[in-house]
């Protein structure tokens, strides 16, 4: 077992095995995370746990420390995003989507690759790829998460994961999905405008339950 030391001020590994630790996070994310999600934040905690447990079989570090947990989780967010980017880059190498489907990316099962191909061909993905303005949920993520520093604190991460769950559920009274704007307003209130600040959170009793 390799012990990993962190500096609390910068929240990063400072030992001789820091590079190996960072590389192993990338390997475990690529090989053991579920690819059929839009982002790391959308993956259920039980499925993320598999990746964390793999890491803990090789390295010793204190997951109860907020700065350590934030570093590991932020690294996994970044590595998951990199993996999805590389999958899309591989997809675009082929002249047609049908040809791309016949050439799954390395270490990706055909079932997962078919899901990714469907995702890459979707109107929503194409809209994002063309640079259209982000919706309110995407804007919340952009203004509260940094690749270098991770989430601004734990509550925005919780709120974002709740928003992603609500996107998949028909929660309006008539059974239709709520719009991204409606979801953000339900989770964090109507004051959010995406200008980099965090609105005052409702009390625990008034928050939406999981």
- Three-state SS string over 112-171 comes to HHHHHHHHHHCHHHHHHHCCCCCCHHHHHHHHHEECCCEECCHHHHHHHHHHHHHHCCCC
Residues of the chain above pLDDT 90, percent: 39
In a domain, 12, yes or no: no
Domain span at 162 = 134-210
In this predicted structure, the answer to whether residue 80 has a pLDDT above a threshold of 50 is: yes
In a domain, 168, yes or no: yes
Q: What Å distances lie between residue 46 and 26, 116, 155, CA to CA?
A: 19, 22, 19
In this predicted structure, the answer to whether residue 94 has a pLDDT above a threshold of 80 is: yes
Q: What is the pLDDT of residue 207?
A: 38
**Which of 94-103, 145-154, 164-173, 198-207 holds the top average pLDDT?**
94-103
Q: Are 88 and 120 in contact (CB under 8 A)?
A: yes
What's the rounded mean pLDDT across residues 167-194?
74
In a domain, 167, yes or no: yes
Other beta carbons within 10 Å of 43: 22
Q: Are 107 and 46 in contact (CB under 8 A)?
A: no
pLDDT digits (tens, 9 = 90+) for 141-170: 878 877 557 788 888 889 988 888 888 776
Q: Give the chain's domain count.
A: 1
């Amino acid at each position: 077992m390799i012990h990993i030391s962190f500096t609390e001020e910068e929240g990063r590994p400072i030992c001789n095995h820091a590079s190996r630790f960072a590389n192993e996070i990338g390997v475990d994310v690529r090989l053991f995370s579920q690819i059929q999600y839009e982002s790391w934040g959308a993956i259920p905690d039980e499925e993320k746990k598999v990746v964390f447990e793999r890491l803990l079989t090789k390295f010793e570090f204190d997951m109860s420390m907020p700065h350590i947990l934030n570093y590991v989780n932020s690294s996994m967010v970044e590595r998951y995003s990199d993996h999805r980017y590389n999958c899309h880059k591989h997809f675009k190498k082929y002249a047609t989507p049908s040809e791309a489907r016949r050439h799954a990316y390395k270490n990706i099962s055909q079932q997962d690759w078919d899901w990714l191909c469907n995702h890459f061909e979707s109107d929503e993905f194409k809209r994002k790829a063309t640079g259209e303005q982000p919706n309110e949920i995407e804007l919340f993520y952009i203004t509260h998460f940094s690749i270098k520093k991770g989430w601004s604190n734990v509550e925005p991460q919780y709120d974002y994961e709740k928003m992603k769950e609500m996107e998949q559920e028909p929660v309006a009274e008539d059974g239709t999905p709520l719009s991204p704007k409606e979801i953000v307003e339900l989770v964090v209130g109507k004051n959010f405008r995406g200008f980099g600040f965090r609105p005052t959170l409702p009390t625990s009793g008034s928050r939406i339950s999981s």
